[in-house]
């Protein structure tokens, strides 16, 4: 809407606007769930709904909730495209895959239909993140709908009429990016039995026989039932308008019969409004929120707290999916290759039309998150592993990243010799260690100029008769390095070639798990410039860490623990979603063996568990503070025993009071205080960890950084534990039919980095260190010919941003629409073919530190875009846009809701674009620039 205010109801609607004149109450019916059906059933439903929409212009039309909508559009015949475009123009096209929409989906909808979504429907995730409403606000949305929150909290909110609120999900942005949020009542997104549902969906996904449709004989039964539910629900809300979601999982298989029956019920109610006190209409979310907006009610304000965890009753807590399918969560990193322009790995500028040059990768897959009933893990894994092969540069490459077969790593005219191209996807200089698998114990590593490169070789941790090659590399932002790897043959012993070093090791004997508590009598230190890690000879485990800046030693002892979970025939059982432990966690090992280079704790019989730790020294003459200030740990867990879940519990001497801080979708930290709830306390105190978590006392903070999603908890004072792997299976019909058992007998290899130090130190290290872990350099291995010494030094244009900023997106999107909305809409109306504009560069910057989180990094910063984009040409214009890229910030007027705090209400002209361009409160900003083509010489 041009001025950002919702249009008032008018006589243009085919049905009267409900609830504007008392005593009538307004009942808004939407049908949000048709899109949840799959396959042929979904296709049939869509055809029914599209046909129906031609007869009833107010019907809410959900269309395929899959990220293949652009493909369907391109493959549709001309009349099909016309029908879809007409639905979009009338505002009746609903796509409900949030992750897809936030990526390229918004651009497709805007480019094709001129649609810019403004209302979000996110009712089925288990819990609600405080980051999500902030991101929706940054995307220009005006309303947000959630549902699955803790059952007792929802009950309290219902009784206090608090299900509708203004959510300020970010401490840093607060009211600047607030959003009106509607929490569905106790019936959630499902219809109660007040309307005819035709019918429930059976386990085999076939159409069953329908229930009795609405007719004159049974009309009074449905009307009385509906009135009873309307009256009970009316007490839960502050306005006469009630949103009634019309649908549920695996229901409403026959849309035509459903609409026909509901039409009869709706017509009867509206004809007797004066007697019944209720009116009904089909409505979109936008229509419902507009009705609320013009009530001008002062709404409660919710701060940055989220709604986690989610429990549906005292014994069912939905925290198991945080760690379900851990191996697939780890495979997310493979998808990074799909976001890297392969030309960057060879030092060339991206060609026009290549959509992505650098990208914040965070795969949103139901298979990864462990929240799908479809058996998709294997296809998804194969698709992820095939990404590198989709680019010409990768064709013929024997192996990418860490090869799992050393013999196939390098094969060519010079056996064993290969070229490693290492690309840094971050916008700052990274000093780190990359690991490759080779088939030779002695190799020589040189850079592109022939200079030797520091490297070490050790026996492979996982692959027999192979070796892990660790190479120290320093790479500028968005740049690459070339390394040549050659084996050293025995016949070359008299040569002067500089070979890699082999670390010395000290073997410790096998030690049984001690029960007497006698530990710490003889400690072995392993040091670098920042830490001294002490290993205990009595237990062969880590004992403590000394941190140089604070000159403090903290007891830190990680060990594997196992929860035995309900899940075989119990009424309350663990599954893909639920976590139902039986009692406390028990040690998962009986004995341990350790080496000083890496130490390994294990089960004495089957070697189920292992920990590999690495402490790196700062390179001489280098300012590699991030490398020095982390203890890298890789783990091996599995296969597990049936109905077991394994955690890594780290016990410390920190006095934490059971408090824990974990992140929200990798953005902001949430403080978690321990909740006591009888037998369910363990599961109720688990939270998602997308990237980081920490515990602390007044002097020190221990930070855990992760490369993938996990569950995290603090079950004791000074403790933090991370759920690594789970195998849960039961005989319940529901879980078996819908693939909710997690029959995972795999071995997982997650990675955690540990940071220890004063709060100011770790607050500065955490954001960038977490990004370095999740965006580690991409490594491409290529064959090296006998006459090839590798590429000569090429000219690079490194990108370096201030230390408080992260480059989330740098792309040439190739948009086929004008950045001027009026021009774009006129082009759509004329039906003129659009041409891609390759002069536009999409840039998104993320401020890593929250307000007052760090004395230096939370301060305002200035970015020279000419310098950042000099490799692509000269900047001639800059335009700030919302996260989706489809809105010019200067033209947006979001709705401002009246609050009980007395802030802005209806009619306010204030909008979220009016923030200081250099303000530290700006967490993420998106801009497009126009450039002139750089002259090629």
pLDDT tens string 493-515:
555 556 666 665 666 666 677 66
CA distance 187 to 718: 40
Q: Is the pLDDT of residue 181 over 80?
A: yes
Of the pLDDT bands very low, low, confident and very high (cuts 50, 70, 90), residue 459 is confident
Of the given ranges (110-119, 366-375, 686-695), which has the lowest mean pLDDT? 366-375
At 176, list the tokens: 């600047």
Q: Quick one: which of 489, 472, 462 has its CA closest to 402?
A: 462
Which strands make up the sheet holding 119-121, listed edge to edge? 119-121, 143-146, 179-183, 164-167, 300-302
Give pLDDT tens digits for 557-578: 999 999 988 766 666 678 888 8
Report the pLDDT value the prediction gives residue 682, as an integer from 0 to 100: 93
Q: Is the pLDDT of residue 379 over 80?
A: no
Measured from the Cβ of residue 880, the count of other Cβ atoms closer than 10 Å reads 15
Q: Is the pLDDT of residue 186 over 60?
A: yes
Phi-psi region of 714 (alpha: psi -120 to 50; beta: other; left: phi over 0): beta
Report the pLDDT value the prediction gives residue 346, as an integer from 0 to 100: 43
**Residues pairing with 721 in the sheet:** 649, 713
Q: Distances in Å between the alpha carbon of 355 and those of 340, 534, 821, 882?
A: 9, 49, 22, 18
CA distance 606 to 639: 9
Give pLDDT tens digits for 783-825: 776 444 444 445 567 888 999 999 988 888 888 888 889 999 9
State the helix-helix crossing angle for 39-53 and 78-89, rounded to 10 degrees: 60
CA distance 323 to 744: 11
What string of DSSP letters covers 679-691? GGHHHHTEEEESS
Q: Quick one: which of 17, 30, 27 has its CA closest to 278?
A: 27
Q: Distances in Å between the alpha carbon of 110 and those of 5, 15, 58, 835, 881?
A: 20, 29, 21, 15, 14
Q: Is the pLDDT of residue 87 over 90?
A: no
Identify the three-state secondary structure at position 203. coil
- Residues with Cβ < 8 Å from 7, sequence gap 6 or more? 1, 290
- Higher pLDDT among residues 64 and 708, named by residue: 708
Of the pLDDT bands very low, low, confident and very high (cuts 50, 70, 90), residue 271 is very high
* Residue 623 is among the residues annotated as catalytic for this protein: no
Q: Quick one: which of 660, 655, 664, 689 has its CA closest to 675?
A: 660
CA distance 810 to 360: 9
- What is the average pLDDT score of the chain? 74
Report the pLDDT value the prediction gives residue 673, as an integer from 0 to 100: 94
Report the pLDDT value the prediction gives residue 35, as an integer from 0 to 100: 27
Q: Give the predicted TM-score (pTM) of the model.
A: 0.83
Q: Is the dihedral of CA 104, 108, 110, 111 positive or negative?
A: positive
At 121, list the tokens: 């429907």
- Higher pLDDT among residues 753 and 335, named by residue: 753
Measured from the Cβ of residue 724, the count of other Cβ atoms closer than 10 Å reads 24
| Phi, psi for 581 (deg, rounded to 5) | -75, 150
Report the pLDDT value the prediction gives residue 670, as an integer from 0 to 100: 93
Distance of alpha carbon 455 from the chain centroid = 34
Q: Quick one: which of 557, 447, 574 has its CA closest to 513?
A: 557
Identify the three-state secondary structure at position 810. strand
- Higher pLDDT among residues 915 and 515, named by residue: 515
CA distance 792 to 781: 17
Q: Is the pLDDT of residue 388 over 50?
A: no
Q: Is the pLDDT of residue 229 over 60?
A: yes
Of the given ranges (22-26, 332-336, 650-654), which has the lowest mean pLDDT? 22-26
Identify the three-state secondary structure at position 760. helix
Q: Quick one: which of 925, 887, 826, 927 has its CA closest to 2?
A: 887
- Higher pLDDT among residues 909 and 826, named by residue: 826
Report the pLDDT value the prediction gives residue 86, as an integer from 0 to 100: 66
896-909 mean pLDDT: 68
Q: Cis omega before residue 23 (within 30°)?
A: yes
Phi-psi region of 81 (alpha: psi -120 to 50; beta: other; left: phi over 0): alpha
Q: 464 near 405, Cβ under 8 Å? A: no
CA distance 884 to 111: 12
Report the pLDDT value the prediction gives residue 251, as an integer from 0 to 100: 63
Q: 547 near 700, Cβ under 8 Å? A: yes
Report the pLDDT value the prediction gives residue 625, as an integer from 0 to 100: 81
232-237 mean pLDDT: 92
| Phi, psi for 638 (deg, rounded to 5) | 115, 165
Of the pLDDT bands very low, low, confident and very high (cuts 50, 70, 90), residue 68 is very low
For the chain, give the percent of residues with pLDDT over 70.
Answer: 66
- Higher pLDDT among residues 918 and 685, named by residue: 685
Report the pLDDT value the prediction gives residue 81, as an integer from 0 to 100: 63
Report the pLDDT value the prediction gives residue 494, as an integer from 0 to 100: 53
- Residues with Cβ < 8 Å from 224, sequence gap 6 or more? none
Of the given ranges (29-33, 136-140, 291-295, 660-664), which has the lowest mean pLDDT? 29-33
At 142, list the tokens: 């005006």
**Residues pairing with 635 in the sheet:** 611
732-743 mean pLDDT: 73
DSSP label of 239:
S
CA angle 461, 463, 465 (to 5 degrees): 105
Continuous segment of H or E residues that includes residue 158: helix 151-159
Continuous segment of H or E residues that includes residue 822: helix 821-830
Measured from the Cβ of residue 800, the count of other Cβ atoms closer than 10 Å reads 15
Q: Is the pLDDT of residue 640 over 80?
A: yes
Which one of the listed residues 33, 79, 86, 124 is annotated catalytic?
A: 124
What string of DSSP letters covers 913-935? T-S-TT-TT--EEEEEEEEEEPP
| 138-149 as b/e: b if 16+ CB within 10 A | bbbbbbbbbbbb
At 399, list the tokens: 């192996």
Q: 447 near 481, Cβ under 8 Å? A: yes
Q: 827 near 818, Cβ under 8 Å? A: yes
**E-assigned strand segments in 292-424:** 300-302, 311-313, 316-317, 358-359, 418-423
Q: Is the pLDDT of residue 400 over 90?
A: no
Report the pLDDT value the prediction gives residue 782, as an integer from 0 to 100: 80
96-125 mean pLDDT: 75
Report the pLDDT value the prediction gives residue 94, as an integer from 0 to 100: 53
Q: Is the pLDDT of residue 183 over 50?
A: yes
| Phi, psi for 458 (deg, rounded to 5) | -145, 165
For the chain, give the percent of residues with pLDDT over 90.
Answer: 31
- Higher pLDDT among residues 593 and 483, named by residue: 483
């Amino acid at each position: 809407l041009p001025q950002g205010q919702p249009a008032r109801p008018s006589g243009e609607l085919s049905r009267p606007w409900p609830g504007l004149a008392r005593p009538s109450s307004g009942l808004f019916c939407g049908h949000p769930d048709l899109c949840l059906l799959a396959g042929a059933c979904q296709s049939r439903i869509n055809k029914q709904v599209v046909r129906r929409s031609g007869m009833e212009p107010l019907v809410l039309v959900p269309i395929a909730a899959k990220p293949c909508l652009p493909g369907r559009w391109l493959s549709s015949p001309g009349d099909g495209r016309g029908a879809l475009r007409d639905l979009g123009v009338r505002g009746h096209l609903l796509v409900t895959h949030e992750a897809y929409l936030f990526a390229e989906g918004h651009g497709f909808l805007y480019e094709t239909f001129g649609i810019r979504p403004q209302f979000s429907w996110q009712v089925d995730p288990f819990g609600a993140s405080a980051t999500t409403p902030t991101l929706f606000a940054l995307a220009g949305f005006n309303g947000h709908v959630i549902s699955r929150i803790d059952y007792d909290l929802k009950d309290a909110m219902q009784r206090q009429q608090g299900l509708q609120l203004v959510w300020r999900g970010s401490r840093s942005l607060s009211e600047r990016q607030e959003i009106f949020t509607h929490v569905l009542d106790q019936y959630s997104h499902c219809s109660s039995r007040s309307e005819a549902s035709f019918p429930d969906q059976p386990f085999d996904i076939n159409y069953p026989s329908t229930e009795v449709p609405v007719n004159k004989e049974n009309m009074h039964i449905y009307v009385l039932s509906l009135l009873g539910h309307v009256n009970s629900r009316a007490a839960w809300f502050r306005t006469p308008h009630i949103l009634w979601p019309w649908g549920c999982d695996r229901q409403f298989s026959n849309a035509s019969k459903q609409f026909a029956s509901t039409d009869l019920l709706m017509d009867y109610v509206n004809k007797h409004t004066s007697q019944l006190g209720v009116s009904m209409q089909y409505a979109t979310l936008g229509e419902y929120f507009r009705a609320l907006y013009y009530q001008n009610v002062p709404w409660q304000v919710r701060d940055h707290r989220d709604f986690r965890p989610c429990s549906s009753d005292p014994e069912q807590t939905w925290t198991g999916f945080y760690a379900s399918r851990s191996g697939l969560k780890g495979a997310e990193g493979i998808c990074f290759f799909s976001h890297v322009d392969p030309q960057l790995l060879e030092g060339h500028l991206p060609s026009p039309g290549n959509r992505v040059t650098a990208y914040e990768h965070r795969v949103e897959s139901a298979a990864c998150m462990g929240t799908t009933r479809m058996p998709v893990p294997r296809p998804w894994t194969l698709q992820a592993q095939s990404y590198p092969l989709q680019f010409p540069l990768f064709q013929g490459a024997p192996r990418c990243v860490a090869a799992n077969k050393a013999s196939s790593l390098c094969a060519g005219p010079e056996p064993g010799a290969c070229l490693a191209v290492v690309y840094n996807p971050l916008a700052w200089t990274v000093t780190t260690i990359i690991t490759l698998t080779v088939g030779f114990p002695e190799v020589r590593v040189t850079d592109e100029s022939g200079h030797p490169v520091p490297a070490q070789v050790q026996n492979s941790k996982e692959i027999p008769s192979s070796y892990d090659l660790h190479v120290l590399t320093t790479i500028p932002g968005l740049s690459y390095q070339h390394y040549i790897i050659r084996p050293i043959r025995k016949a070359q012993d008299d040569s002067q070639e500089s070979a890699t070093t082999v670390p010395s090791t000290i073997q410790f004997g096998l030690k049984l798990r001690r029960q007497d508590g006698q530990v710490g009598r003889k400690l072995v230190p392993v040091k670098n410039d920042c830490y001294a890690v002490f290993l205990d000879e009595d237990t062969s485990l880590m004992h403590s860490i000394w941190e140089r800046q604070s000159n403090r030693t903290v007891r830190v002892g990680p060990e594997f623990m196992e929860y035995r979970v309900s899940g075989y025939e119990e009424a309350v059982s663990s599954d893909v979603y639920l976590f139902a432990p039986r009692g406390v966690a028990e040690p998962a090992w009986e004995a341990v063996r350790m080496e000083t280079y890496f130490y390994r704790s294990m089960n004495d019989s089957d070697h189920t568990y292992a920990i590999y730790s690495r402490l790196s020294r700062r390179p001489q003459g280098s300012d590699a503070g991030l490398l020095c200030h982390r203890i890298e740990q890789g783990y091996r867990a599995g296969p597990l025993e049936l109905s077991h879940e394994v955690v890594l519990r780290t016990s410390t001497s920190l006095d934490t009071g059971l408090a824990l801080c974990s992140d929200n979708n990798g953005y902001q930290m949430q403080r978690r205080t321990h909740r006591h709830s009888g037998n369910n306390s363990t599961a109720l105190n688990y939270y998602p960890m997308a990237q980081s978590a920490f515990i602390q006392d007044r002097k020190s903070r221990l930070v855990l950084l992760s490369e993938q999603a996990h569950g995290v908890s603090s079950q004791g004072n000074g403790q933090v534990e991370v759920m690594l792997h789970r195998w849960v299976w039961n005989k319940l019909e529901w879980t078996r039919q819908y693939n909710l058992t997690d029959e995972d007998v795999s071995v997982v290899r997650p990675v955690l980095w540990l940071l220890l130090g004063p709060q100011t130190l770790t607050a500065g290290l955490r954001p960038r260190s977490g990004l370095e872990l999740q965006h580690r350099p991409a490594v491409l291995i290529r064959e090296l010919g006998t006459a090839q010494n590798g590429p000569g030094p090429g000219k690079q244009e490194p990108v370096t941003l201030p230390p408080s900023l992260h480059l989330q997106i740098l792309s040439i999107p190739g948009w086929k629409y004008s950045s001027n909305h009026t021009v774009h809409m006129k082009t759509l109306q004329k039906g003129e073919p659009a041409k891609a504009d390759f002069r536009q560069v999409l840039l998104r910057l993320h401020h890593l530190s929250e307000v007052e989180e760090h004395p230096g990094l939370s301060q305002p910063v200035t970015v020279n875009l000419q310098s950042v984009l000099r490799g692509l040409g000269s900047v001639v214009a800059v335009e700030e846009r919302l996260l989706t890229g489809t809105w010019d910030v200067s033209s947006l007027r979001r709705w401002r809701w009246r609050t009980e705090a007395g802030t802005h209400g209806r009619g306010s002209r204030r909008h979220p674009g009016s923030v200081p361009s250099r303000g530290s409160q700006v967490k993420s900003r998106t801009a497009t620039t126009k450039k002139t083509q750089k002259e090629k010489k």
